[in-house]
Amino acid sequence: MSARIFSGSNHPLIAYLMAGYPTLNRSLEAAEIVFKAGADALELGVPFSDPLADGPLIQKASTVALRQNVSLRLVLDMAGRLSGSGKPIFIMSYLNPILRMGYAEFAAQASRSGVSGVIIPDLPVELAAEWVRTAWANRLGTVFLATPSTSTPRLKKIAQNSTAFVYLVSVYGVTGVRDELPGYTYEFIRRAKSVVNRPLALGFGVSNPRTVSHALKAGVDGVIVGSLLISKLMDQESSWVEVLANLESTVHALKQATSTTVPTEEGK
């Protein structure tokens, strides 16, 4: 299912939401709105006590979700309830909650919930053989991250093990909202494009239509937007109805940018 979003001329917008933020029900509503606004897939974050690759926004969302005892099991239930949308759902979880459940049980449950793939930011590809086998046996896609510091030989290894797509981390840094991305991000995208024969999705700091457009032109196949959406959900001034309307227009504008950008020859 996950390969489909990258097919043809479609450039998927993958929306990240933290399951359980601001509450489990509201994160479900937000996910439905995000799909309605045109997101092609959902990356559903599992709250963790020690999210060391995340900036303050996602840390805060994680803390709020944990206060409500949102566990990996509950997140998989939520994914199951969203699977009727027909759109791919990726689980993004730090390793320890998955280990606690056990690879086999987690993969089986995720598969039953209609999950397309799993992203584990603290599982490097060298230590992932067992996970990759288990995911494969349960028809779950694997996604590994590559960063501007990743050497080209590693990039190839990461691509070989990523059956769904390769997650390109745009910057040296943690997740967060960024006005624009540095020049080295685009060099990295071009380098990845030249050696990776898998779909590429760019995340971390993709926070406006202009960046989306630049990233696609540089050669990524899709984009992942997270902290920006979380920041919309954190708006304390507005009613929940207004927050959702705001979320919808934000996602809509980002999706517009993915569908109007024509990749240049340079990026191909």
Hey, which residues does 202 pair with through a beta bridge? 168, 223
Q: Does 149 bind other proteins (CB under 8 A)?
A: yes
Phi, psi for residue 126 in degrees, rounded to 5: -60, -30
Please pick, among 40, 54, 235, 242, the residue that the annotation labels catalytic: 54
Q: Which is nearer to other proteins, 150 or 208 (CB)?
A: 150
Q: Does 183 bind other proteins (CB under 8 A)?
A: no
Q: Does 99 bind other proteins (CB under 8 A)?
A: yes
Nearest to 177 by CA among 229, 244, 216: 229
Q: Does 179 bind other proteins (CB under 8 A)?
A: no
Q: Does 66 bind other proteins (CB under 8 A)?
A: yes
Which residue among 12, 20, 45, 51 contacts other proteins (CB under 8 A)? 51
What are the start-end ranges of the H helices in the chain?
A: 24-36, 56-67, 72-82, 95-101, 103-112, 129-137, 152-161, 183-195, 209-218, 227-233, 240-260
Which residue among 67, 86, 104, 129 contacts other proteins (CB under 8 A)? 129
Q: Does 73 bind other proteins (CB under 8 A)?
A: yes
Which residue among 20, 45, 114, 121 contacts other proteins (CB under 8 A)? 121
Q: Which stretch binds other proteins (CB under 8 A): 17-25, 171-179, 210-218, 257-265?
A: 171-179
Residues 6+ apart with CB under 8 A from 145: 119, 121, 158, 166, 167, 168, 169
